[in-house]
């Protein structure tokens, strides 16, 4: 009964994974070649590298301050994205209520991250990063999908008990 939901969840998680990989490649390219022009840089106020290269592009702009800029955990956000969406794509296959509850927690967390990053884009960097905004949309879709899925799993459990 959750087959279509699972497929959609895995699809959007892989979409997020792809965007995270793409962001990471862009970051590496910009770092190696300062003349590199990223395909997601459209103008001064529509730039993805402006976000990635900012002080908020690494360790969520928090870990560096907490653990020191040289900490092994102060990685580019895109690497955390790769970890996160790989995890979500994997648990997306599971029809266990427990696993899906974990997935719900993770997607709630990622939407908090969306709000945090979106405010940085709007109020501090005054930048429209298309890759970032697409990530926010994906995070929201994933939240809705996991929420619906958990509801159905709980309903199925109830039906089995009776
Ligand atoms: C494209 C990507 C990250 C790039 C980033 O684009 C973001 C998000 C953004 O909006 C932004 C704004 C302002 C400055 C910099 C930036 C960015 O650089 C990857 C998805 C990141 C995703 C939102 C992470 C979700 C992580 C979980 C909430 C926590 C996972 C914890 C791990 C230990 C698994």
Would the CB of 107 count as within 6 Å of ligand 1?
no
pLDDT, residue 121, reads 97
Q: How far is the CA of 123 from the centre of ligand 1 (A)?
A: 17
Query: Residue 34: what pLDDT?
Result: 87
The answer to whether residues 142 and 110 touch, using CB atoms and an 8 Å cutoff, is: yes
Task: Determine whether the shortest distance from the Cβ of 17 to ligand 1 is under 6 A.
Answer: no
Pick the atom of ligand 1 nearest to 109's CA.
28
- Phi, psi (deg, nearest 5) at residue 126: 45, 55
What per-residue confidence (pLDDT) applies to 1? 62
Q: Length of the chain, please?
A: 162
Q: Whose CA is nearest to atom 30 of ligand 1?
A: 84
> pLDDT (tens digit, 9 = 90+) per residue, 30-46?
999 989 999 999 999 99
For the CA atoms of 55, 137, 25, 51, the dihedral, rounded to the nearest 10 degrees, stands at: -20
Q: Report the nearest atom of ligand 1 relative to the CA of 120.
A: 13
Mean pLDDT of the chain: 96
Superfamily of domain 2-161: VKOR domain (1.20.1440.130)
Angle formed by the axes of helices 130-161 and 3-32, to 10°? 150
Q: What is the pLDDT of residue 17?
A: 98
Residue 162 pLDDT greater than 80, yes or no: no
Q: What distance in Å separates the CA atoms of residue 32 and residue 92, rounded to the nearest whole number?
A: 36
- SS3 assignment, position 94: coil
Domain ranges of the chain: 2-161
State mean pLDDT over 133-159.
97
Distances, alpha carbon 38 to alpha carbons 11, 28, 162, in Å = 25, 11, 58
Phi, psi of 42 (to 5 degrees): -100, -35
């Amino acid at each position: 009964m959750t087959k279509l939901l699972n497929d959609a969840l895995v699809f959007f998680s892989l979409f997020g994974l792809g965007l995270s990989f793409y962001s990471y490649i862009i970051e590496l390219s910009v770092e190696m070649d300062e003349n590199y022009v990223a395909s997601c840089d459209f103008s001064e106020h529509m730039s993805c590298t402006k976000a990635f290269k900012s002080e908020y592009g690494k360790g969520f702009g928090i870990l560096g301050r907490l653990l020191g800029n040289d900490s092994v955990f102060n990685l580019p956000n895109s690497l955390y994205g790769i970890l996160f969406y790989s995890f979500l794509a994997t648990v997306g296959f599971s029809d266990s209520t427990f696993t899906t509850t974990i997935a719900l927690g993770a997607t709630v967390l990622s939407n908090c991250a969306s709000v945090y990053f979106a405010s940085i884009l709007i109020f501090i960097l005054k930048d429209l990063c298309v890759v970032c905004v697409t990530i926010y949309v994906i995070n929201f879709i994933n939240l809705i999908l996991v929420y619906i899925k958990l509801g159905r799993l709980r309903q199925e459990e109830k039906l089995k008990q009776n």
